[in-house]
Structure 1
Amino acid sequence: MRVIIVGCGRVGSTLAVQLAAEGHDVHVVDRRPKAARLLPDTSRIHFHVGNGYSRTVLEAAGVDHADAFVAVTSGDNSNIVSARTARETYRVPNVLARIYDPRRADIYRELGIPTIASVRWTVHRIHQMLLHRHLSPEISFGSGETLLYRSELPAYLAGRRLTEFDVDGEIRVVEVTRGGHSLIPAHSTTARPDDLVTFAVATTALGRLRGFLDKELGT
């Protein structure tokens, strides 16, 4: 996969190194030549000096053949212009952008560009770790409205059908890891001791899920 990353700060450089280690073709764009010092000397990472919305720079980075584009500079305006250019001008199929002002998320959403809001994400994660410490977050969807969480089931629930734990529109059991093997539960699948269960849960229902699990966990 060819990925273009605009912004070679800590986030951009770390992402570039990880993607390169996984075998991807990474092109990093930054207007500061010295930013290249954050990158290792590898044939899988290519550094380009310039603005992420410059067509000359983007075309030199191979934007016409890019599979993904990530804008993670320190400026919201630069990120949105770069992301729009990649999406609207070059039709890059997967475009992501970082924002510092969460109020701008709606602008990106209207453009069909998924965003990562640093402040909101950090606060959300701290809140989850404080109040939902028995739940291990796996992934979030949209702007964080729906989440996947994993947790060991309390022992007293063994023998009950997993579908009994569903709450319409709020909580649903979508996977069970049992004895090291994963399965999609059928309507008749019953819980067993030591089951590790994956819940799809609405953010607004996290307290309800936590209360349900903590009843047995004793917190």
Structure 2
Amino acid sequence: MSRILILGAGRVGSSVAEQLVQEKYDVTIVDSNPALLKPLADRLDLRTIVGEAGSPLTLREAGAADCDLMLAVTPSDEVNMVACKIAHELFNVPTRLGRIRQSDYLQQPQLFSEANFAIDHVITPAQIVTDYLVSLIETPEALQVLDFGAGRALMVAVRIQTGAPMDGKAISDLQQALGSAECRVVSIYRKNQRIRPNGDSVLHVGDEVFIVAAQRYIRKVIREFSAGEKPIRRVTIAGGGNVGFRLAHAIQGDYQVKLVECDRRRAQWLAEALPATLVLHGEATNEDLLETEQIERCDLFLALTSDDEDNIMSSLLAKQMGAGKTIAIINRSSYVDLLQGGRIDVALSPAQATIGSLLAHVRRGDIVAVHSLRRGAAEAIELIIHGTQDTSRVIGRRIEEIKLPSGVDLAAIIRGDAVIMAHHDTVLESNDHLILFIDNKTHIREVEKLFSVKLGFF
């Protein structure tokens, strides 16, 4: 798959375009606003088309007849649906992904069938971000929580804290502490430089560590890397938009939730839609409001408005006034790098959280999941290997016999219900799900080729 057509040059569309251009895909991006296209054309090797995404003439000019995949991520659900239908009927585009936000459409999945709007895969960024936030709330020590094998295995990113059991210890000491609970330390980042771990690698306060373990062991594993986080009970959410509403709805049964919304009519609607959530009308940057609501008793403050500056300021203010942990949605990637791990504990880019679900459909081979790591600099993927020893380059071979590209590590294997940590003498079998950590994304194509089935298989 090499020719990609993207409809919509907003945050998601532009982020995906940048990612795919870096991986040498042939990308065309369409938007009705030339101001959104110009900066992309100036810095990326791609083709831009000014026009309406739902127009057959625009799609023809953009090369829809020759593209392998179309991604419709304009702000309008209706435009995305119509564009996918036109792409299917007039241009026979093989794979069509559409962003759909309205819940009333999502509750009618038959609308997306080939006979109707012909959307192969529906993408709902707000729900993806919500699920991501729920995983962070459930695992408060983690910077990222990634799901593999339908939840059988997890990869977590944690920052070594002062007083953590593993502070100042070598990785070889870890297994003795864990007993029968196996895990794999996949990568260590120290001052933004990757250290490829081995048994002699010593961990220090501030190190960002990526670990893979079976889901049932993950709590025990995380305790070795943290100083003991206070459990989260009280949650305050700033912003009652799509993400804020979905998150409050998802967690209000398990936590004490307050939601702050500046728009009065929206606040009234939220109060009716969220009976177990205390909805407050006001600005989350208002110090008096935060003081009145005893923000110092809040275990987790999440700034989820559509305004980066408001999210930054409200998070900093909440932290200064005594809130436990802070998470802020930040749309500008340069802000994310600047703020992550400082006074704001987790700075989350919605586009980066969403991009993995899109890339899984672009990658060659049987890719189950793609997760963007470290603000897009690295990636974790889950893929399934097929074939026999004759038709596969890896099946029937020990891991030590497989020459992985530079910057790529095979972290774990999911075989049926079993999660197997990858060791040098582990032999790979057909239908294994492999969890790979890829630090150097220029080698993505090499990874795809290595784990694909030879043509003779077909």
Q: TM-score, normalised by structure 1?
A: 0.81
Distance 1:164 1:97, change over 3 A: farther
1:207 aligns with 2:445: yes
User: In the aligned structure 1, how far is the partner of 2:404 from the partner of 2:321?
Assistant: 44
Q: How many residues align?
A: 216
Tell which has more relative contact order, 1 or 2 (C-alpha 8 A, sep 6+). 1
Give the superposition deviation at 1:138: 5.5
2:139 aligned residue: none
Secondary structure at the aligned position of 1:135 is classed as strand
Pairing 1:1-150 to 2, within 5 Å after superposition: 1=232, 2-21=234-253, 23-36=254-267, 37-38=269-270, 40-43=273-276, 45-93=277-325, 95-109=326-340, 111=342, 113=344, 114-119=346-351, 122=354, 126-127=358-359, 129-132=361-364, 134-137=366-369, 139-150=371-382
Secondary structure at the aligned position of 2:451 is classed as helix
Q: Is the 8 A contact 1:63 1:92 kept in 2?
A: no
Distance 1:60 1:206, change over 3 A: farther
Q: Is the 8 A contact 2:360 2:368 kept in 1?
A: no
Give the superposition deviation at 1:60: 4.0
Secondary structure at the aligned position of 1:143 is classed as helix
Q: After superposition, what is the alpha-carbon deviation per residue over 1:80-136, rounded to whole angstroms, capped at 9, x for unaligned? A: 10111223442523x221123333333323735332334455566545532457323
Selected match of 1:188 from 394, 405, 425: 425
User: In the aligned structure 1, how far is the partner of 2:281 from the partner of 2:270?
Assistant: 14
Q: After superposition, what is the alpha-carbon deviation per residue over 1:112-164, rounded to whole angstroms, capped at 9, x for unaligned? A: 53323344555665455324573233644321323321111233222212344
Report the RMSD for the aligned CA atoms in angstroms. 2.9
Give the superposition deviation at 1:198: 1.1
Return 127-136 or 147-156, whichever deviates more: 127-136
User: In the aligned structure 1, how far is the partner of 2:375 from the partner of 2:414?
Assistant: 27
Q: Is the 8 A contact 1:100 1:119 kept in 2?
A: yes
**Structure 2 unaligned spans of 5+:** 1-231
Bigger radius of gyration among the two: 2
Read off the aligned partner of 1:42 and give its amino acid letter: P
Secondary structure at the aligned position of 1:106 is classed as helix
Read off the aligned partner of 1:201 and give its amino acid letter: I
Secondary structure at the aligned position of 1:194 is classed as coil
Q: Is the 8 A contact 2:239 2:304 kept in 1?
A: yes
Pairing 1:163-174 to 2, within 5 Å after superposition: 163-165=400-402, 167=404, 170-174=407-411
**Structure 1 unaligned spans of 5+:** none
Give the superposition deviation at 1:168: 7.1
Give the superposition deviation at 1:14: 0.7
User: In the aligned structure 2, how far is the partner of 1:38 from the partner of 1:191?
Assistant: 51
Q: Percent identity?
A: 20
Secondary structure at the aligned position of 2:438 is classed as strand
Pairing 1:151-166 to 2, within 5 Å after superposition: 151-155=383-387, 156=392, 157-165=394-402
Q: After superposition, what is the alpha-carbon deviation per residue over 1:57-99, rounded to whole angstroms, capped at 9, x for unaligned? A: 2244442122222111121110110111223442523x22112
Give the superposition deviation at 1:38: 3.5
